Amino acid sequence: VVDIHGTPIFPGGEYYILPALRGPGGGGVRIGKTGDLKCPVTILQDRREVKNGLPVKFTIPDISTGIIFTGTPIEIEFFKKPNCAKSSKWLVFVDNVIKKACVGIGGTTNY
């Protein structure tokens, strides 16, 4: 897996997740509130294409170095998290208000 400059992505580096095609479709990823959540823990795409969003880092579970290849199991987390979240690591959850699966951060107690 490479960044937009063709450089391999390494675990622990700071990266922005952006759409493959920049334009009116939106910008980078950020966190926000959805449904009746009290803490902003849902991962959303910024509506403004000029926004890079929040930086993330990728890690390979139980491995601290190496190159990330397609198919490598990875964990994704933001460098910063809201005080109300236990973690900035990404996970999938179901928002009971909107009845949809969402990608968020934190832990099951935030939902």
Pairing type for strands 29-32 and 90-95 reads unpaired
Burial of 106 (0-12, 13-18, 19+ CB in 10 A): buried
Tokens of 17: 């997740």
The structural domains of the chain, ordered by start, are 13-105 (2.80.10.50)
Chain segment 32-91, per-residue pLDDT in tens: 988 888 889 889 999 888 889 999 999 888 877 788 888 888 889 999 989 998 899 998
User: In which band, very low, low, confident or very high, does the pLDDT at 110 lie, cut at 50, 70 and 90?
Assistant: very low
Instruction: Determine the pLDDT at residue 107.
Output: 61
Residue 59 CA to residue 8 CA, distance in Å, equals 14
Q: Phi and psi dihedrals of 108, rounded to 5? A: -60, -20
